[in-house]
Amino acid sequence: MFVRSGCARVPGTLAVKADTGLAPAVDRLAVAEVPEIGAEPPDAPAALARPAAALVLGGAETGDADLAAALALVASAGRAATVFLVNDRIASAEGTHGVTLHPAKLPDWLARRALAGLPALAEVWCWQLATLAGATHAIGDWGGSSGLLAVRAALRDHTRIILCGVPMDPGLGHFVRKRSWSHAIGFRKGWIAHRAELAPYVRSLSGWTRITFGAPSAEWLAG
């Protein structure tokens, strides 16, 4: 179940006016039932009480350790986790959403995912709606690599986003190719350009993005 965060009113609730016989300007909202003082409140669905946090799993070698730490932190905060898989992670990792700037590679990643017996993804995001390649949704590119595209997709429904294996640091190798990524520094410009928009909602567990946005904490997750 995916819940859009930040809503001012819980969907499905209605405000019903009492028939007081007074003028509309002084009508009050009806109260259907008032619990006794000290009574236990009714249980609320967990997803409404604490909306899910989004975990963006990128291709850096730190990704697996980052993800394990993020899952533990999110669970301790009483939140569910929605995992967004970036690029090569689509083929091999547990998650419900895939994101890439490379639609030409999607058919291979999705085929390998199916062969590995992993569940089909609920959504696949790209910078263009490449439905023939397997994309289901499109969103504009902010010029910060597929990792930032994943953050953009996550921001539509989440206000707590943790980067796992998205350090934007050339010194941290790729989990498949085992080599540094020299283009990481160039892609930082997209993150810097949108830093003010990202800062309240994004934290990271490794590299330059951790330095830039800070590490996640229990207090931040509780916000």
147 vs 60: CA distance, rounded Å: 11
Domain boundaries, the chain: 52-221
pLDDT score for 154: 98
218 vs 215: CA distance, rounded Å: 10
98 vs 80: CA distance, rounded Å: 18
Kindly list the distances between the CA atom of residue 120 and the CA atoms of 85, 94, 98, 164, 192, in Å, as whole numbers in the listed order. Answer: 12, 10, 10, 21, 33
DSSP 64-97: HHHHHHHHHHHHHTT--EEEEEETTHHHHS--SE
- Looking at the predicted structure, is the pLDDT value of residue 4 above 90? no
Q: How confident is the model at residue 107 (pLDDT cuts 50, 70, 90)?
A: very high
More confident: 91 or 35: 91
pLDDT score for 49: 55
Q: Is the dihedral of CA 111, 178, 68, 170 positive or negative?
A: negative
Cβ atoms within 10 Å of 222's Cβ, excluding its own: 11
Q: What are phi and psi of 116, to 5 degrees?
A: -80, -5
Helix axes 145-155 and 184-193, enclosed angle (nearest 10): 30
**pTM of structure:** 0.77
- Looking at the predicted structure, is the pLDDT value of residue 76 above 50? yes
Q: Which of 89, 91, 93, 71 is nearest to 80 (CA)?
A: 71
